[in-house]
């Protein structure tokens, strides 16, 4: 009886997996006509209007609502909320916003959205508006410094951090400066200083904690101290942003722990087709390392095909990585790495370009040796 139950369970599991597999198939299924008017063609779980329409009465309500969307959008599987926030802000006019604080918030949110879309110049313009109205706006300064650093503009980044001195607490201003110095000078110099600073000041019990943890992990990683870097980042995954989680996953992959990555990201219980590109990529990388069946790699292949068809250059780094480490194609890897470096110039982006150039060079040399045709 026991054996029967086990067999039945196995069959049930197989059947369930098959149903899931078929449901997750991409859009190459044939068009169909629902058999009945009552046929449910999509179940969103709750009315789309609940999440997609703003229940705002005033401009201040709209701004608060948009700010919540932006915060929530940073979590895994929630990036569609950026579009909701954008629409809400687009419908606001400056004439509707009378208070200075509200105007500051509007520009800050616009900057946040522009940064997410990798429109860094636009984001900086919006932040200038914030800082013109509120020169001591700490978050705007930090964001401006971060974007400058992303764009490879070290001096402006440092200037923004310096302007925090005397405005913010010492921990915030110093951490900002040390992050810049980790790029302009070296991570080897900035890392121990940041560690000492955090030890002296104690961990803050607010949004700065993950910010500092990510910064320390990044500096350790750039020195090749992967074990140490991973120790700065803590789980559970459900509470972290996509950025935090992907940094953690990247380190686990470097430490040759792909199964931990697969377990952690799976535990988010997000439908694979709704998983953020970077997390999907890391699942595919983990699966590739494990040498298991290519379920996630196929999903990533489809996502890459869609991104390429859409010409979504904002995801160039992921595309380049895919063509380097999952489905090797040196030319495509180089194309996307070059596209990426035009917008993002952090150490990771430079390393990606270096790897892609090396891969292309190796390919060309091997083709030269074999007398192949490069074009």
Partner 1 sequence: MKWVLCFLLALPLLASGHQLSTAYMSLERTDSSVLEGQLQWRLYDLERSLRLDSNRDGKLTWGEIKAREAAIGQFLGERLSVAQGGVTCTLNSASLRKLDRHYAEPYLLLPLQVQCPISGDLTIRYMAFFNQDADHKLLLSVEDGDSAISRVISAQQQEVTIASSDGFWQGFSDYVYQGVVHILIGWDHILFLLCLLLVAVLSRRDHQWQARVAKREIILYTLTIVTAFTLAHSITLTATALGWIDLPSRWVEIGIAATVIFAAVNNIVVLFWRIGWITFGFGLLHGMGFAGVLGELGLPQQGKLTAVVGFNLGVELGQLVIIALLLPVLMLCRNGQWYRRWAMPAGSVLIALLGTRWLLERL
Interacting positions 31-50 with partner 1 (CB under 8 A): 31-34, 36-50
The contacts of residue 219 (CB under 8 Å, 6+ apart) are: 182, 187, 190, 191, 194
The nearest distance, CB 255 to partner 1, in angstroms, is: 28
* Candidate list 273, 301, 325, 327; residue touching partner 1; CB under 8 A: 273
Comparison of 201 and 364: residue with beta carbon closer to partner 1: 364
* Candidate list 56, 125, 129, 152; residue touching partner 1; CB under 8 A: 152
Taking each helix axis from N to C end, the angle separating 138-150 and 154-162, rounded to the nearest 10 degrees, works out to 160
- Take residue 357 and report the two structure tokens written for it: 């150039």
Comparison of 292 and 357: residue with beta carbon closer to partner 1: 357
What distance lies between CA 367 and its chain's CA centroid? Answer: 36
Q: Where are the alpha helices (DSSP H) in 267-294?
A: 277-290
Residue 173 to residues 138, 329, 351: CA-CA distances in angstroms? 9, 43, 28
Comparison of 12 and 20: residue with beta carbon closer to partner 1: 20
Site map 51..90 versus partner 1, x via CB under 8 A = xx--------------xxx-xx--x-xxxxx-x--xx--x
The nearest distance, CB 251 to partner 1, in angstroms, is: 23
The nearest distance, CB 198 to partner 1, in angstroms, is: 17
- Take residue 109 and report the two structure tokens written for it: 């949110």
Name the segment binding partner 1 (CB under 8 A); options: 158-166, 217-225, 228-236, 269-277.
269-277
d(CA 340, CA 352): 9
The nearest distance, CB 270 to partner 1, in angstroms, is: 7
The reply to whether 24 sits near partner 1 by the rule CB under 8 A is yes
Q: In 3D, which of 120, 123, 128, 121 has the Cα closest to residue 111?
A: 123
The nearest distance, CB 363 to partner 1, in angstroms, is: 10
DSSP code string of 71-114:
HHHTSTT-THHHHHHHHHHHT--GGG--SHHHHHHHHHHHHHHH
Residues in contact with partner 1, counted by CB under 8 A, come to a total of 84
Q: Which residue has the tokens 């764009």?
A: 151
Comparison of 258 and 272: residue with beta carbon closer to partner 1: 272
The reply to whether 364 sits near partner 1 by the rule CB under 8 A is yes
The reply to whether 293 sits near partner 1 by the rule CB under 8 A is no
Name the segment binding partner 1 (CB under 8 A); options: 167-175, 216-224, 242-250, 318-326.
167-175
Site for partner 1 in 216-255 (CB under 8 A): 239
d(CA 91, CA 84): 11
The nearest distance, CB 322 to partner 1, in angstroms, is: 16
DSSP letter (8 states) at residue 205: S
Site for partner 1 in 320-359 (CB under 8 A): 331, 335, 338-339, 341, 353, 357
d(CA 6, CA 307): 43
Residue 310 burial class via C-beta count within 10 angstroms: exposed 0-12, middle 13-18, buried 19 and up: exposed
The reply to whether 174 sits near partner 1 by the rule CB under 8 A is no
The nearest distance, CB 47 to partner 1, in angstroms, is: 4
The nearest distance, CB 193 to partner 1, in angstroms, is: 22
d(CA 229, CA 216): 7
Site for partner 1 in 294-313 (CB under 8 A): 302-303, 306, 309-313
The nearest distance, CB 16 to partner 1, in angstroms, is: 17
Site for partner 1 in 181-200 (CB under 8 A): none
Q: Return the number of other C-beta atoms located less than 10 Å from residue 4's C-beta.
A: 8
């Amino acid at each position: 009886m026991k054996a029967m139950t086990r067999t039945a369970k196995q069959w049930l599991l197989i059947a369930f997996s098959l149903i899931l597999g078929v449901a997750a198939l991409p859009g190459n299924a044939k068009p169909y006509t629902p058999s009945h008017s009552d046929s449910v063609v999509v179940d969103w779980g709750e009315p789309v209007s609940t999440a997609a329409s703003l229940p705002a009465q005033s401009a201040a309500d709209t701004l608060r609502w948009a700010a919540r969307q932006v915060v929530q959008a940073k979590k895994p599987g929630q990036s569609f909320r950026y579009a909701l926030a954008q629409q809400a802000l687009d419908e606001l006019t400056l004439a509707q916003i009378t208070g200075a604080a509200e105007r500051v918030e509007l520009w800050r949110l616009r900057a946040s959205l522009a940064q997410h879309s990798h429109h860094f110049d636009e984001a900086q313009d919006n932040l200038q508006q914030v800082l013109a109205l509120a020169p001591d706006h700490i978050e705007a300064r930090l964001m401006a410094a971060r974007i400058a650093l992303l764009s490879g503009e070290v001096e402006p980044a440092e200037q923004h951090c310096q302007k925090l001195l005397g405005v913010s607490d010492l921990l915030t201003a110093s951490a900002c400066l040390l992050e810049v110095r980790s790029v302009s000078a070296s991570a080897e110099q900035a890392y121990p200083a940041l560690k000492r600073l955090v030890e002296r000041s104690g961990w803050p019990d607010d949004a700065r904690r993950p910010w500092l943890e990510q910064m320390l992990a990044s500096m350790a990683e750039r020195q090749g101290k992967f074990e140490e870097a991973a120790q700065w980042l803590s789980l559970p995954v459900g509470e972290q942003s996509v950025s935090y989680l992907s940094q953690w996953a990247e380190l686990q992959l470097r430490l040759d722990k792909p199964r931990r990555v697969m377990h952690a990201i799976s535990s988010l219980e997000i439908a694979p087709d709704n998983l953020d590109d970077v997390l999907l990529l890391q699942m595919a990388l983990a699966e590739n390392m494990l040498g298991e069946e290519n379920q996630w790699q196929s999903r990533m292949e489809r996502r890459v095909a869609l991104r390429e068809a859409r010409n979504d250059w904002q995801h160039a780094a992921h595309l380049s990585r895919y063509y380097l480490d999952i489905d090797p194609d040196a030319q495509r890897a180089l194309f996307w790495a070059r596209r990426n470096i035009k917008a993002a110039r952090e150490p990771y982006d430079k390393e990606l370009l270096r790897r892609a150039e090396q891969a292309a060079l190796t390919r060309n040399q091997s083709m030269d040796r074999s007398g192949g045709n490069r074009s």
